[in-house]
Each structure stands twice: as C-alpha cells, then as structure tokens.
C-alpha cells in the first residue's frame, strides 16, 4: 500500500510566522505535489516536484516555496504566514499515469 504522511493534522500559527509543512512517502516515487483545498474551489496546485531538487510552480505559488532535498520528503514553506493562507493543505504523490495518492491533510489556521 502507498503511504503518504503529513507532519501535522492541525496547526495554528500567527501572522508573520514562517511555517513548514512536511510530507513523507514510503516509496520511491519521483512526483510529489502540494495542494490547498478551500470550500467551493476544490483543490488547487501550489507546487510540485518531479525529482530531488527539481520543482515547478503550480497554479497558486504566490506566498509559498518548497524544498525537496531527499526523494521521500517534500516540504511546503510559508515564508510569512498570512490569514488568507488559512486552509487545508494536502500532499500527494503520483504513480505512473497521473494516479495520485493523498496524505491525510494539514488544517492550518493563521491568526
């Protein structure tokens, strides 16, 4: 079974803090993704990575950065958290042919 874990289920941070969300996979998959999910908007792609140190912007990269130093770990970074980044964040990995498997999500609240 594919396993994708995310470092926290719930997180509360203050405006201006630097926030790290971590995603870890237990297989050797190249492609990893970060989405945010908001009511009525579905899932929107923030960034994805297709190999170690390789990354590409998604549809809404502003205010975010990512890091992938090891194949199994993909981190999402909020350089200076703002209240409009309060959301559910989902990490996913892709097997071949677009099939993606998701972690349980991190619900981030920025106050």
Partner 1 sequence: AQSVTQPDIHITVSEGASLELRCNYSYGATPYLFWYVQSPGQGLQLLLKYFSGDTLVQGIKGFEAEFKRSQSSFNLRKPSVHWSDAAEYFCAVGASRYKLSFGAGTTVTVRA
Q: Does 40 bind partner 1 (CB under 8 A)?
A: yes
Structure tokens that stand for 109 in this block: 């609240």
Pairing type for strands 10-13 and 106-110 reads parallel
If one asks whether residue 26 binds partner 1 (CB under 8 A), the answer comes out as no
Q: CB nearer to partner 1: give 17 or 57.
A: 57
Task: Single out the residue of 7, 22, 43, 60 in contact with partner 1 (rule: CB under 8 A).
Answer: 43
CB nearer partner 1, residue 18 or residue 27: 27
Residue 103 near partner 1 by CB under 8 A: yes
CA dihedral 21, 9, 93, 2 (to 10 degrees): 140
Residue holding tokens 């959301």?
87
Pairing, β 42-51 against β 100-102: unpaired
Smallest distance, Å, CB 42 to partner 1? 4
CB-neighbour burial class of residue 25 (10 A; exposed 0-12, middle 13-18, buried 19+): buried
Pick 79 or 105: Cβ nearer partner 1? 105
**Footprint of partner 1 (CB under 8 A):** 4, 31, 33, 40-45, 48, 50, 56, 58, 90, 92, 94, 97-105
């Amino acid at each position: 079974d594919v396993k994708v874990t995310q470092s926290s289920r719930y997180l509360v941070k203050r405006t201006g803090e630097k926030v790290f969300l971590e995603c870890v996979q237990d297989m050797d998959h190249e492609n990893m993704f970060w989405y945010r999910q908001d009511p009525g908007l579905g899932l929107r792609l923030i960034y994805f990575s297709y190999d170690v140190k390789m990354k590409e912007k998604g549809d809404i990269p502003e205010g975010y950065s990512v890091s992938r130093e090891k194949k199994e770990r993909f981190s999402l970074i909020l350089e200076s958290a703002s209240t409009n980044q309060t959301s559910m964040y989902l990490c996913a990995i892709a097997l071949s042919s677009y099939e993606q498997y998701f972690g349980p999500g991190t619900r981030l609240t920025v106050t």
